[in-house]
Amino acid sequence: MLSRVANTLYWMVRYVERADNLARLIDVNEQVLLDFESLDSERLRGFWKPIILSTGDEEAFHELYDDVGSDQVIRFLTNDTRNPNSIVSCIGYARENARTVRDQLSDELWEELNSLYLFTKSEESAQLLAKNPPRYYERVRRAAMTFLGISASTTARDGRWDFMSLGRHLERADKTTRFLDISTYFPKGAEGLERASPGVLHWSAILSSCGAMGAFRATRQEITARTVMAFLLFSPDFPRSVRYCIDQVDAALHRISGASRGTYSNESERECGMMLATLNFGKPEDVLEEGLHLFLDEIQAKLNKIAGEIFETYVLMPERIESKLPEIPTVSMTRHIHEQPQQ
């Protein structure tokens, strides 16, 4: 399998997953605000600013906008093409990746992604976003889930599937940690936020953003900071928990290399194995003792490290090979890859 193809499939799926998660986050946050119609613009910033901070895009946001209001944040994260991590930008990048390896994809998979891309560029989507935002985000989420279902149904379980799995689960783990991290950015004791930031409503919103409300209710636990954190970080069964995602990444890496699980043949497998061990044997008390924000920062750094090692192991050419080949111009998509991982 060509490294270019593997890299392109990896980012195609990762961008779709990113768009899906952003749609979930914005939609849930808007629904929460319906219970706080009395908040003025100043106090509304207490809800939207943490969203920007948690995504790691605050610098890019402040270069484009002066105010942190709901309209500005929603536009920045939804359809502002100047933001490379907006929903519309992510879908565009995913579609461009798919176009370059169309012969590796099923017709149904390409048609679904292309249809979503055309929708985001249409007048229909602009009108829907203006008049009925929940319906807009629902359409994006359903298209992303349909894309996932079609890929699972029409992709052979070979190297293509493994690299797609890497992109999906690394992005999913990253976004789960960022959803959890939102609570650490709320102003402590800010007027109008006492009921929302530390309470059931806030943690319920995080569960909903991760599509975890039904699975969490099945555990018959009370919704608290500790129980939600433990479920989204350490659950071995829930598909969006960090532990589950890293286990899937570890399995995919070993299928690609052919090495036995529990061993490692490259740095990406070693980094992933170390992180998986931490999650397999960790417990909520350890996180609370260290501090949730610090723990999540470390997880995000490790995820970026794993992604970087995957790129160096399977995409970058070894020096001994490069020395024997003529210089190959760097394609724009490869350069773009270095720019996209969040800080």
Rounded distance between C-alpha atoms, residue 230 and residue 285, angstroms: 9
Rounded distance between C-alpha atoms, residue 87 and residue 137, angstroms: 10
Q: 85: which 2 tokens?
A: 């991590």
Amino acid at 86: S
Dihedral of CA atoms 245, 249, 250, 256 in degrees, nearest 10, equals 160
Angle at 227 between CA 226 and CA 228, to 5 degrees: 95
Q: Please state the pTM of the whole predicted model.
A: 0.87
45-57 burial code (b ≥16 CB/10 A, e <16) = bbbbbbbbbbbbb
Structure confidence at residue 202 (pLDDT)? 77
Rounded distance between C-alpha atoms, residue 185 and residue 47, angstroms: 9
DSSP states of 234-294 as a string? Answer: H-SS-TTSHHHHHHHHHHHHHHHH-PPBTB-SSHHHHHHHHHHHHHHH--HHHHHHH-HHH
For residue 321, how many C-alpha atoms fall within 13 Å in the half-sphere facing its CB? Answer: 5
Q: How many residues does the chain have?
A: 343
Rounded distance between C-alpha atoms, residue 174 and residue 333, angstroms: 22
- Residue 34 carries which DSSP code? G
DSSP states of 72-124 as a string? Answer: HHHHHHHT-TTSTTSHHHHHHHHHHHHHHTGGGS-HHHHHHHHHHHHHHTSHH
Q: 305: which 2 tokens?
A: 């490290």
Return all residues near 99 (Cβ < 8 A) that are at least 6 apart: none
Structure confidence at residue 137 (pLDDT)? 94
Local confidence pLDDT in tens for the 343 residues of the chain? 789 999 999 999 999 999 999 999 888 777 666 555 544 455 555 667 778 887 888 899 999 998 877 789 899 999 999 999 999 999 999 999 999 999 999 999 999 999 999 999 999 999 999 999 989 999 999 999 999 999 999 999 999 999 999 999 999 999 999 999 887 765 554 434 344 344 677 788 889 889 999 999 999 999 998 999 999 999 999 999 999 999 999 999 999 999 999 999 999 999 999 999 999 999 999 998 889 989 999 999 999 999 999 999 998 865 544 444 444 343 444 444 444 444 3
